[in-house]
């Protein structure tokens, strides 16, 4: 079967497990891939939307994985029992929603040995949330697909997180793969250039709204430059 490069990157960070909960599973391709590769023994495909979940059920049957995989209508992990899964993947959604899912039912993560997350936005906030939950981020990776930068990271519990600087929460430089580092640095360079260009265009404006935005951009630029330095 074919899956996107983004999903392959997510799959590459999943270590062997007994039961995987795939939260926001869409059509179930990631779970099916991991089942077929023998990475997980069982998979629970969970989604809030009946349509994609029905398609995931069809796909499990088509690939002869319906005895090892099941579908479950669930808002986040609300239908996941404590101790039911030892690995959880949450991919392809905004970071704010991801943080909410991680907060809504903390007992669902009681026996989870690995969290693999691929947030689409608010990425520093997700890193901070993991640290608040006493999860340690052990591996990060990046890739660009169809012109969009994707982040993924693997976190494990039971280790006291080493404090990050604000720039490190932005960069995710700790534990990143070499290929991911190259992608991340290129992305940061592009963001720095954009912010410098915006600031240059605003240089002679004295409008109150522009001055406020210049202050915001200057601070963003400082953090992005510090994030770039974190990869040095």
162 has a pLDDT exceeding 80: no
Q: Kindly report the backbone phi and psi dihedral angles of residue 178, in degrees, each rounded to the nearest multiple of 5, phi listed first.
A: -65, -45
**Residues 11-36 as b or e (16 or more Cβ within 10 Å = b):** bebbeebebbbbbbbbbbbbbbbbbe
CA angle 108, 109, 111 (to 5 degrees): 110
Residues contacting 77, CB < 8 A, separation 6+: 21, 23, 46, 88, 101, 104, 105, 108, 109
The predicted model scores a pTM of 0.86
- pLDDT, residue 167, reads 82
pLDDT tens digit string along 10-47?
999 999 999 999 999 999 999 999 999 999 999 999 99
User: Which CATH superfamily groups domain 5-163?
Assistant: Vaccinia Virus protein VP39 (3.40.50.150)
Max mean pLDDT range (123-127, 208-212, 219-223): 123-127
161 has a pLDDT exceeding 70: no
Number of residues that this document lists for the chain: 232
């Amino acid at each position: 079967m074919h899956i996107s490069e983004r999903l392959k990157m997510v799959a590459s960070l999943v270590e062997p497990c007994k039961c995987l909960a795939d939260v926001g599973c869409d059509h179930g391709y990631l779970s099916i891939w991991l089942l077929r590769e023998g990475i997980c023994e069982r998979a629970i495909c969970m989604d809030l939307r009946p349509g994609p979940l029905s398609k995931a059920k069809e796909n499990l049957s088509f690939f002869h994985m319906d005895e090892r995989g099941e579908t479950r209508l669930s808002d986040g992990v609300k239908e996941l029992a404590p101790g039911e899964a030892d690995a959880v993947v949450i991919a392809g959604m905004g970071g704010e929603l991801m943080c909410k899912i991680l907060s809504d039912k903390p007992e669902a993560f009681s026996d989870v040995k690995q969290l693999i997350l691929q947030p689409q936005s608010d990425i520093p906030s997700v890193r901070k949330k993991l640290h608040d939950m006493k999860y340690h981020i052990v591996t990060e990776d990046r890739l660009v697909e169809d012109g969009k930068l994707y982040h993924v990271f693997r976190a494990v519990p039971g280790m006291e997180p080493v404090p990050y600087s604000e720039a490190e929460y932005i960069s995710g430089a700790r534990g990143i793969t070499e290929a991911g580092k190259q992608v991340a640095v290129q992305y940061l360079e592009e963001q720095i250039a954009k912010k410098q260009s915006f600031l240059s265009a605003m240089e002679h404006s004295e409008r109150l709204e522009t001055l406020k935005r210049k202050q915001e951009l200057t601070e963003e630029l400082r953090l992005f430059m510090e994030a770039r330095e974190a990869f040095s």
